[in-house]
Amino acid sequence: MIQYYSTSNYQTPEGYTCAFREWKKDTADSQLHGYALGFSFGFEILNPEYKFSDYEFIQTYLSTLFGHTTIVASDDPCLPLFMKLEEQGACTVRVLPNVTFKELAKTVFDDMQVMLQHNTKDNVKIVFVSIKPQTKKSVSYPDNVPETILPKNT
């Protein structure tokens, strides 16, 4: 069976802007700080007749999770404070088990796998997710993706 691959990049003109707090780090990252994220996805097209043209669910997912949100770990001791800020309309909180970029890439990969199964009826599978928090840096999941198919850092 012939396999087809496709890649897609998602980034608003400024990126998906969100704030993070990695409270366990002993660096400035333990404080609230922001990024404008870009995303790249690799897909395996299992049915060559499938037209993978409806990417809207991916953009909706990225906007919901990373569009002007504050990402906080579920074990962050300041989580109640962030929830109060959300109640007051000061921010939109997204609580995740872990907020390192490697863990975020895995979360997006796992979520995308479920969404693709549902939205494409198993015609498309996720191969990799790459998150670009800075111009010359990216983090990809899984770790064993060949460098030749990952997006270049420019």
Q: What pLDDT is recorded for position 20?
A: 92
Please give the model's pTM, rounded to 2 decimal places: 0.86
pLDDT tens for 45-68 read: 887 777 666 678 888 999 999 999
Q: What is the residue whose two structure tokens read 């929830």? A: 83
Alpha-helix runs per DSSP H in 13-147 = 56-66, 79-87, 101-120
pLDDT tens for 79-116 read: 999 999 999 999 999 999 999 999 999 999 999 999 99
Give residue 88's identity as a one-letter amino acid code.
Answer: Q
C-alpha separations of 34 from 19, 21, 55, 71, 124 in Å: 4, 9, 26, 10, 32
Q: What pLDDT is recorded for position 154?
A: 45
- Is the pLDDT higher at 135 or at 39? 39
